[in-house]
Amino acid sequence: MLVVSLCASATASAQSSVTLYGIISNGLGYVSNQAGHSNLTMISGANQNNRLGFKLAEDLGGGLAAVGTLENGFDSNSGKLGQGGRMFGRQAFVGLSSSTYGTLTIGRQYDMLWDYLDRIEPQSMGPGLGVSVGSNDNIEGNFRYSNSVKYASPVWGGFGFESLYAFSNKAGSFQQNRAFSAGINYALTNQRYSLVYLDIDHPGTANPSGAVTDDYAGAPFVLFHTSPLSSSVGVRNQRVVAGGAEYGFEKLSLGGIVSDVRYNYLDNTSLHLDNLSLVGVYKITPAFFISAAYLYTHGTYGGVSSNPHWNQGQVSFEYFLSKRTDVFAYANYIRASGSNAPAVLFLSSPSSTEQQTAVVAGIRHKF
C-alpha cells in the first residue's frame, strides 16, 4: 500500500492521508460441465476479486476524523470495469469517524453480512469457490447498496454493532428497492461470533435508482433472484438471518456459518433456503496452508412442488512467496438433488447434469 500524507494549516493543523491499495488475482481453471461441455478457462479474481482503491482520512482533532473510500472492481483478463461498468462499483462513501461515538458513512457500501461473515466463508478462508449455492445469502457481497447510510459503533470489550439503511430514492414509493441490515459482533483474542439480519424490498431494475439494481441480476451462478415459474418475475422481498463463528489456534483456524434465507416473489411463489458451511485451515509452515470445507443447502419452495438440496466440498492449498504474493490451487465439487436444483459453482455457469467440478490454480498479489 502506498500512503501519501499531507499537512494542511489554517487556524489549526490537520493531518491527512490517502492510501492506494489493491488486489490482482488470476487463475487457470478446469470446469467439468458448463451447459453440457467441459471448459478450460481463465478466471479473473480466482482468489479474491480484483480491486483498486483509495482510503481517505483527515484528522479533525478531538478524536474525530473525516474518512472515505473509493474502490473499483475489474477483470484482470480483459481490463474491463466490474459491477456493471461502475467507476467505483465496489465501494464509494464518505463520512465521519469518532473514537468515542463510532463511524457514520454515506454512499455505496457493503452490509453486515460482508463486514462480519465474509472472512469466514470457505471461499475466503480456503481459498476456493465455496459459497452458498447461487450465493443466495450474499455473504460474498456480489451486490452492494447504493444510497446507503451506515453506522459502526466503537468496540467495547470486544463487542460492537453495525446498521445500514439504503434508500429507494423514489418519490411516492418509499419501499420500492430499499434495504435494511444490522449486525452484532463479539471478538476475543482467538475467537469471534457474529449475528446479522438483512431485509430488502423489491430489489432490481424496476427502480434503477434504488438500493440494489443491475448487480442484483448478477452472473449465471446467481440462481434465485427470479421466480421459479418465470425468469421475468422478480423478488418482492428477500430476508436473511445469518450467524457465524471462528476460532484460531496455533496452527489451526476453524470457521462456520449458518444462514436462513427467504425469498418472496412477485407472483406469490416463495423459497426458503437453509445454508451451512464449515471450513478448516491448517498452517503446515508459516508460508504453507492447506484447507478443507463442506457446504450444505436445503430448499423448500412455496407454490411449487420442490424441495431441492445441494452438497458441496472444497480442498485447497496456498503458498506465500512473500507477505504480498501467493500461489494457490483448489478443487470444488457440487452435487444437486431434486427438481429446480441446478448444479453450479461460484463464478461458473450451470451444469447440464446434477454435478459440477472445478479445479483452479493461480496467483494473487496485494499492494
Q: C-alpha grid cell for residue 38?
A: 467441459
| Mean local confidence (pLDDT), 342-355 | 96
Instruction: List beta partners, residue 58.
Output: 16, 66
Amino acid present at 160: G
Whether the pLDDT of residue 367 is over 90: the answer is yes
Q: What is the pLDDT of residues 287-305, one digit of tens each?
A: 999 999 999 999 999 999 9
Number of separate domains in the chain? 1
Structural domain harbouring 49: 2-366
**Is the whole model's pTM more than 0.75, yes or no?**
yes
Burial grade of 148 (CB within 10 A; 0-12, 13-18, 19 or more): buried
Supply the CATH number for residue 35's domain.
2.40.160.10
Q: What is the pLDDT of residues 67-124, one digit of tens each?
A: 999 999 999 999 999 998 999 999 999 999 999 999 999 999 999 999 999 999 999 9
Which pLDDT score, from 0 to 100, does residue 12 have?
43
Task: Please check whether residue 319 is in contact with residue 312, taking contact to mean a CB–CB distance below 8 angstroms.
Answer: no
Within 13 Å of residue 234, how many CA atoms lie on the same side as its CB? 17
Whether the ω angle into residue 127 lies within 30 degrees of 0, i.e. cis, is: yes
Contacts of 245 (CB under 8 A, 6+ apart): 120, 191, 192, 193, 194, 255, 256
